Amino acid sequence: MASLRIGLAQLDPVVGDLVGNRALVLDAYRRASEAGCDVVVFSELVVTGYPPEDLVLKPGFVRDTRTVLDDIAKETGDCIAIVGFVDVGSGTHSATGRPVIHNAAAVCGHGAVHGVYRKRLLPNYDVFDEERTFTPGSGAHHLYEIAGVRVAISICEDIWYADGPVAEQAAGGAQLNLSLNSSPYHRGKSANREIMLARRARENACAIVYVNQVGGQDELVFDGGSMLFDTSGALVGRLANFTDGLLVADLDVPDTPANPTLPVTVLSSTSRADGPCRESVIEPVVTDLAELYEALVVGTRDYVRKNGFTDVVIGLSGGIDSSLVACVAVDALGAEHVHGVSMPSRYSSQGSKDDAYALAEELGIDVRTISIEPAFQAYLEMLEPSFTGRSADLTEENLQSRCRGQILMALSNKFGWMVLTTGNKSEMAVGYFTIYGDSVGGYAVIKDVFKTDVFALSRFVNERAGTEVIPESVLTKPPSAELRPDQRDDQSLPPYDVLDAVLEMYVERDMTAAEIIEIGLPSDVVRRIARLVDINEYKRRQCPPGVRVTEKAFGKDRRLPITNGYRG
C-alpha cells in the first residue's frame, strides 16, 4: 500500500492575466509544499484562465504563456506541480496556416518541466468550441511515478467518457488519475459530476483527483467543488463550491502489478517528509436554490471586479426583479458599493415607490429619487407634431423606459458605476423589455433565471435572513411594468407559471411548437409564445452579458438565426 499526499488547488484565475495567475499558482504551490504534499494539482489552463477563446490565436500570447509556465517550473522543488497551460505543437493547420496549439498540462518539479499531457477529447457543444482553437493530443499515454504511485493525467472532457483516455491509462497501469478541469456551473451539474467521477474511479479501480476552477468569466461561472475519490469510488475529500481553497489529503493507494504497459517516468521515489496532514474535508452540498443564488453572486462579483469596477447602480422599481438583483449585488460587492435609483413616472404607484425605499433601507444601500416626468413630458412635446392623429400606444411606454436607461447611463458615466440590468429570462425570451431602455447596462444578473425562479430565490433570500429583506408586498403584488394606468404583466403575457413551462420546453429542450401542443397545451398560447421567442432574437443579441445558470442560456448556448422562416 502506497500513500500519497495530494494538494487540490482550487483557484479563481483571470483570463489573460498571466502575471496575476502566476502569483496565484505559486502562492498555492508554496502552501502545498509547506504542507508536505508530494503533488499539487491545478485547474485546466490555470495559467491563461478559462476560456481564453481567441487570445490563443495570438502567437505572442502563447509565447508569453510558455514563459510564465517556465517561471512557475523554476520555482518548484520536491513537490510536483501539475499546471494547465497552452502548448505549441508541431506543424500548422492546413486550412488556416496557424501553428498547432494544444490545451495541455505540464508536469513540473525540481525546477523544470518534465513532461506535457495534451487534452485528447475537445468539447464542441453548449458553451464549448475548443475544436475551433485547439488540436487534440495524440500518441501514447505516459505515466509518472510519484512517491511510489503511478500517476496519469487527464484534462476535463477526457474523463467524461467511460471508454476514453482514463480507461486506457488505468489499463496501462495508472493507479491515480489527476484530472484538471474548468467545468462551468449550471443547475444540477455538480451532482452529475460526482456520480460520474465515482463511477469512473470504481470501474477502473483507479483513484481520481478532480480539480475545478472557481469564479466568474463573462457569462460563465465556475463552481469548483474539487473532489478526491479512492479506488473503490468512495468520495474522500471535497472543497466547497464557489470559493477558492487548497485541500490537502493523504491518499492510500493499493498495490497493483509491478509491470505497467505504459512508459513510466520516476519523478519522486520517496514519499513526503514526516508530518501530520489535516483531515481530509468533505464539504457539505447546499440546496439547489442556495447554489443557484451563490452562482449569481459569484458571477456578478467577478464580472464587476475583474473588469475594473468597484460600484454598481440599479434602477429600483419596487418590483421583484430589481429587488432580487439588489440583494445579489449587495452580497457580491457590499452595500457600500451598491446604489439604487427610484425613477418614478406619472404611472408609478405609491406602493412601488415605498417598496423600493424599504428594500434599500433593509439592505443599507444608497438610494435616490430622480423622476423621469420632466424628460418624458419633453419627449411627448417634441414628438407631438409627428404623432398628431395617432393614439398613445407602446411607443409612449417605451419612451419611459428609455428615459430611465438614459438616467442610469448618465450616473454610470459620471461616477464610474456599472449599470446592472434587471430583466429575467422569461422577459428576455419573449421580448418583454425595451431595447435601449431597461435593457441598457453592463451586466444582466438574472437574464438566465425564469420568473418563477425569481420568486423562489426572493423567498429564499428572506428565509435565509430570517426577515423581510424583500418586502412581502413585492412578493405578493401582481407584477407590472407600470408604464400605463393599472398595467399588469398578465395583460400582455400568459401567467408566468404557464409561460415558463412552455419556455422550458421550447427554449431549454428545443421542442417545436407542434411537439408542445401535442402534449396538450393550448395551441394559441404555445404558438404565440413561440412566435414571440423567435421574433425577439434581434433584441436579445443587443443585451449585455449575464450569469449563465442553465444548460441553454441565450447567447452562449442558444444561437438561432435572426432571419428565420421556420415555424415548427
Which amino acids are annotated catalytic? 44, 119, 156
Residues contacting 279, CB < 8 A, separation 6+: none
Going by C-alpha positions, the residue among 266, 40, 35 that lies closest to residue 147 is 266
Query: Does residue 229 contact residue 198 with C-beta atoms inside 8 Å?
Result: yes
Residue 282 DSSP label? B
What's the burial of 277, exposed, middle or buried (CB within 10 Å: 0-12/13-18/19+)? Answer: middle
Measured between alpha carbons, how far is 452 from 402 in angstroms, rounded to an integer?
A: 26
| Cβ count within 10 A of residue 465 | 12
Q: Alpha-carbon Rg of the chain, whole angstroms?
A: 27
Residue 392 DSSP label? -
Query: Does residue 412 contact residue 418 with C-beta atoms inside 8 Å?
Result: yes
Give me the sign of the Cα torsion angle 552, 556, 562, 564.
negative
Query: Does residue 556 contact residue 219 with C-beta atoms inside 8 Å?
Result: yes
| Cβ count within 10 A of residue 134 | 20
Measured between alpha carbons, how far is 227 from 210 in angstroms, rounded to an integer?
A: 5
DSSP secondary structure, 308-332, as one string = T---EEEE--SSHHHHHHHHHHHHH
DSSP secondary structure, 90-136, as one string = EEE-TTT-PEEEEEEEEEEETTEEEEEEE-S----STT--GGGT---
The number of residues in the chain equals: 568
Side chain identity at 319, as an amino acid letter? G
Supply 391's cell numbers.
393614439
Place of cell 518534465: 114
Going by C-alpha positions, the residue among 304, 320, 311, 408 that lies closest to residue 359 is 320
Q: Which H or E run includes 302?
A: helix 288-306
Peptide bond into 51 cis (omega under 30): yes
Residues contacting 32, CB < 8 A, separation 6+: 7, 9, 40, 79, 246, 248
Neighbouring-strand partners of residue 102 = 87
Query: Does residue 96 contact residue 194 with C-beta atoms inside 8 Å?
Result: no
**Cα 385 to chain center, whole Å?**
49
Going by C-alpha positions, the residue among 418, 426, 454 that lies closest to residue 314 is 418
What's the burial of 353, exposed, middle or buried (CB within 10 Å: 0-12/13-18/19+)? Answer: middle
Measured between alpha carbons, how far is 167 from 402 in angstroms, rounded to an integer?
A: 57
Give me the sign of the Cα torsion angle 214, 106, 130, 194.
negative
